Amino acid sequence: MFISEQPLDIVGLLASAHHPKAGALVLFSGEVRNHNLGREVDYLEYEAYIPMASKLIRQILDAANAKWPLNIAIAQHRIGKVAVGESAVVVITASPHRREAYEANRYIIDRIKHEVPIWKCEFFSDGSKKWGGNCNCHEVTGDVNKHIYDV
């Protein structure tokens, strides 16, 4: 399951990710912070187009497995209302040595943020809301399918 309407079970995912051949495990949790661009954030709401979001996360994990010798590659993204301090996305990678686990983990989260059809709406404490636009790469690349990952 790649998209969850329930709070992400980070501890349970971590417990399921230990592997006898892995000497390193990296867990990334993308968490909701209480401010963005100088404004106070109350909570976020995430929306996904689940059929394609699931398919793309599967493809991104497959690509990571092809690039690095991973024992474990897991990603889950939450949708619906997510409170400050809660986890919106979790990526776990495990490999024999730490370098691959770190690199693959970053690759997976970068591609999820830029490519997977998931959107956040920020709800501010002044009562206003704004749909987020993390990926504005097309303004630089001129192509909605070309991304710059190191930003």
Partner 1 sequence: MKVQVFAGLKEYFEPTFELEKDVQSIDGLKRQLIRLRPSSAALLESCRFAVNDDFVDVDYELNEGDTIVILPPSSGG
Number of residues binding to partner 1, judged by CB under 8 A: 33
Where b means 16+ CB within 10 Å and e means fewer, 61-78 reads beebeeebebbbbbbbbb
Q: Which stretch binds partner 1 (CB under 8 A): 7-15, 41-49, 65-73, 97-105?
A: 41-49
Q: Which stretch binds partner 1 (CB under 8 A): 6-14, 61-69, 96-104, 111-119?
A: 111-119
Ramachandran region of residue 127, left (φ > 0), alpha (ψ -120 to 50) or beta? left
Torsion angle, alpha carbons of 61, 116, 91, 18, to 10? -30
Q: Which is nearer to partner 1, 98 or 114 (CB)?
A: 114
Give yes or no for residue 81 binding partner 1 (CB under 8 A): no
Q: Which stretch binds partner 1 (CB under 8 A): 17-25, 34-42, 98-106, 132-140?
A: 132-140
Q: Which stretch binds partner 1 (CB under 8 A): 6-14, 16-24, 92-100, 133-141?
A: 133-141
Give yes or no for residue 47 binding partner 1 (CB under 8 A): yes
Residue in 22, 77, 101, 107 binding partner 1, rule: CB under 8 A: 77
Strand partners, 119: 47
- Alpha-carbon distance of 60 to 94, in angstroms, equals 15
Does residue 138 contact residue 151 with C-beta atoms inside 8 Å? no
Give yes or no for residue 85 binding partner 1 (CB under 8 A): no
Give the shortest CB-67-to-partner 1 separation in angstroms: 20
Does residue 7 contact residue 89 with C-beta atoms inside 8 Å? no
For 111, phi and psi rounded to 5 degrees?
-70, -35
**Interacting residue ranges for partner 1, rule: CB under 8 A:** 30, 46-49, 51-52, 55, 77, 88-89, 109, 112-121, 131-139, 144-145
